Amino acid sequence: MPGERKAIRKRIVLSNTNALSVQMEDLEKETLTDRRLIGSVVGLPENVVDSLRAAEAFRPTQVWGLFRRPGVLIREESVVLGEKLAEAEETKGSFRMVIDGDRISGKSMMLLHAMTTAFLRGWIVVNIPDAQELVIAGTEYAPIEGTSPIMYSQNEYTANWLGQIAKANNTVLHGLQLSQKHDLPIPIENDMSLVRLCELGARDKEVSWPIFKAFWSEITAAGRPPILVSLDSLGQVLQTSMYRDAAYKLIHSHDFAIVAHFADCLSGKNRLANGGAVIAATNRSHDPISKSLELAVKQSLEMKQGGKLLTKRDPYEKKYDERADRVLQGLEILQLKGLSKVEARGLMEYWAKSGVFRSRVDEKIVTEKWAVAGNGIVGEIERNALMMRI
Amino acid sequence: MVFILGVSFHESRLVKKCLETFYGIGHQHSSQILAKHHIFPGAKVGSIPSKTITAITAELSTLKIENDLRRQLRDNLQRLKDMGTYRGRRHAMGLPVRGQRTRSQISTARQLNRIERRG
């Protein structure tokens, strides 16, 4: 069967009946910013799990399949992020953030946490699960008529994406109805719900991009809930894509309508009028190296730490991307490091309770695993405590 | 079944590979044709609109491919022979053309070098 092996590879198992059931608190709207929970693993509520799954927030590389039900570790950074999101909702403001950190330091999980927070708070979540899919020339593309310079739409991806958005935000979008007049290629009812609008776009890929634009103008209209726009693997969309234009030149990824839309959100050009956040996570495993991103991250951290710019732009470096630079200006960076020992212990106790970590969790073993894992890089702890059998 | 330049292809075949079945079109030309019509490299023949197929067929018919290209090759060899050049003679005899030794290892030349060369 075509696509069968890919389906197996990308399959996400969220429950394992062999694992022991662990008594844990469910994450709720009230406990999102609760500092008491730092270092403990909390369960994800069932309706949020459905939404997260629809939004493809779970990645096949994460080990959800070892446990009875999905739970996340609350770490210091997640509470900080939760507080920022709460503040954005209250003040109707918005922030733009890039989550960066070493390999397997939990960047995608932080994104998942942000999405969980957004779902619990009743936001609209627009997630691009893997930016790679947009730029590696794996999905169809077509120039959009009447654009100069030419922009390209990716109709099949957009249609699928609209379907995901509709499914993930079903409850919120059901309550929202069209409030504006739209000039669309297909006739629509004036008072249809936004879920219905997304579904129309998902069904007919030819009109998916105009429908997404209409959907966006609807959700940014006055009186709508805040929006979380998120993307994983930022490095992929900061340079030329692998698509070619009619003259056989490589197309820059920002010439694609979806990517350009996200880039405008990240640069602050597309304002989120009802508040919200734009969060992108980098990927240190298979993203292409983006010199612009490296520089932006470095400079942003220096400004945050010392308030003084130490790293200057390298005048001899040719690989900076001008269009990426414009997007990355003045971004906030959330730098993920290793877990603290308290957090590591909380995580390991959860593993032990689930029956997958067969050893006593004491000071000694926590310190050992923590140290071996490069001072608590969470994926490394998982590797040497959970995956490795000696 | 989809017809490109009079040849039928199954819907599940890649457009790029279908184009490369024509004599004279390789990776470079097929990629350029795909780019010109905004078709991504993984596209299957069945998934692209018939308008695009017609456009591709129209474009292919302007190119020197298949029998035209084979004829050109034969004409070139015939010209060499008619002029009485050494290269023409060697082609006609089915021997190496560019000064290789003939004591051993000339199977490729035996196979290919002839005036009525296949392609």
A-B Cβ pairs (cutoff 8 Å, strict):
31
Q: Are A51 and A125 in contact (CB under 8 A)?
A: yes
Q: Hey, CA dihedral for B88, B94, B95, B96, is it positive or negative?
A: positive
Shortest alpha-carbon distance between residue A337 and chain B (Å) = 39
Assigned token pair, A325: 């630079």
Any domain includes B34: yes
Same domain, B80 and B28: no
Ranges assigned E (strand) in B1-119: 2-4, 7-9
> What confidence tens digit (pLDDT) does each residue in A352-372 have?
999 999 889 999 999 999 999
Q: What's the CATH number where B71 sits?
A: 4.10.910.10
Give a yes or no: residue B119 inside a domain: no
A316 touches chain B (CB under 8 A): no
Residue B35 to residue A246, Cβ atoms within 8 A:
yes
Q: Are residues B71 and B89 in the same domain?
A: yes
The per-residue pLDDT for B7 is 94
SS3 A122: coil
**Is B39's CB within 8 Å of A152's CB?**
no
pLDDT score, position A386: 86
Question: pLDDT tens digits for A269-307?
Answer: 999 999 999 999 999 998 999 999 999 999 999 998 888
Nearest to B40 among A137, A245, A248 (CB): A137
**Is the Cβ of A119 closer than 8 Å to some Cβ of chain B?**
no
Name the band, by pLDDT with cuts 50, 70 and 90, for residue A83. Answer: very high
Structure tokens at A382: 């998982």
Residues B55 and B102 in one domain: no
What is the overall mean pLDDT for chain A? 94
In chain B, the residue whose alpha carbon lies closest to the alpha carbon of A137 is: B40
Beta-bridge mates of residue B3: B8
The residue extents of the domains of chain A are 4-337, 340-389
A138, A142, A245 member nearest B35 (Cβ): A245
Does residue B119 register a pLDDT over 80? no
- The residues near B51 (Cβ < 8 Å, ≥ 6 apart) are none
Backbone angles phi, psi at A125, to 5 degrees: -110, 125
Interface residue of B13, B34, B40 to substitute, partner A, most A CBs within 10 Å: B40
> What pLDDT is stored for residue A389 in this prediction?
66
Task: Show the tokens assigned to A95.
Answer: 């922030």
Contact B36 A246 (CB under 8 A): yes
Q: How many domains does chain B have?
A: 2
Q: What percent of chain A has pLDDT over 90?
A: 92
How far apart CA A363 and CA A355 sit, in angstroms, is 19
Assess if residue B53 is contained within a domain: yes
C-alpha span between A196 and A199 (Å, rounded): 5
Same domain, B58 and B79: no
Same-domain check for residues B72 and B97: yes
ipTM of the complex model: 0.86
Both B37 and B72 in a single domain?
A: no
B77 with B104, same domain? yes
- CB nearest A248 (choices: B35, B40, B42): B35
Q: Within an 8 Å CB–CB cutoff, is residue B51 touching chain A? A: no
| Least Cα separation, residue B96 to chain A (angstroms) | 38
Q: Is A130 exposed, middle or buried (0-12, 13-18, 19+ CB in 10 A)?
A: middle
Task: Render pLDDT for A179-211 as a digit per residue (tens, 0 to 9).
Answer: 999 999 999 988 899 999 999 999 999 999 999
CA A291/CA A311 separation, integer angstroms: 13
Interface test with B, best of A241, A248, A255 (most B CBs within 10 A): A248
* Residue that has been written with the tokens 């695993």 in this structure: A369
In a domain, B117, yes or no: no
**Does one domain contain both B58 and B25?**
yes
Among partner residues B36, B37, B41, which is closest to A137 by beta-carbon distance? B41
Q: Is the CB of B31 less than 8 angstroms away from the CB of A152?
A: no
The reply to whether B19 and B32 lie within a common domain is yes
Helix, strand, coil shares, percent, chain A, to 5: 45, 15, 40
A390 pLDDT above the threshold of 80: no
Q: What is the pLDDT of residues A204-252, one digit of tens each?
A: 999 999 999 999 999 999 999 999 999 999 999 999 999 999 999 999 9
Could you tell me if B49 lies within 8 Å of chain A, comparing CB atoms? no
Confidence tier at A124 by pLDDT (50, 70, 90): very high
> What does residue A334 show for φ and ψ, rounded to 5 degrees?
-105, 105
Q: What SS3 state is found at A60? A: coil
Chain B nearest CA to A339, separation (Å): 42
Which tokens go with A318?
Answer: 């040719």
Chain B CB within 8 Å of residue A157 CB: no
Which residues does chain B have within 8 Å of residue A139's beta carbon, measured at their own beta carbons?
40
Q: Which residues contact A286 (CB under 8 A, 6 or more apart)?
A: A132, A233
**Domain-embedded: residue B82:** yes
For the domain that residue B13 is a member of, what is the CATH number? 1.10.8.50
Parent domain of B83: 67-112
pLDDT digits (tens, 9 = 90+) for B17-37: 999 999 999 999 999 999 999
Fold of the domain spanning A4-337: Rossmann fold (3.40.50)
Token pair for residue A354?
């689930």
Asked whether the whole model's pTM tops 0.80, one would answer yes
Please check whether residues B12 and B59 belong to one and the same domain.
Answer: yes
User: Which tens digit of pLDDT belongs to each residue from A149-184?
Assistant: 999 999 999 999 999 999 999 999 999 999 999 999
Same-domain status, B17 and B41: yes
pLDDT tens sequence across A24-76: 999 999 999 999 999 999 999 999 999 999 999 999 999 999 999 999 999 99
Does residue B43 lie within any of the structural domains? yes
pLDDT, position A45: 95
- Count of C-beta atoms within a 10 Å radius of residue A157: 21
In a domain? residue B7 = yes
Answer whether A141 sits within 8 Å of B40, measured CB to CB: yes
Residue A244 Cα, gap to closest chain B Cα (Å):
5
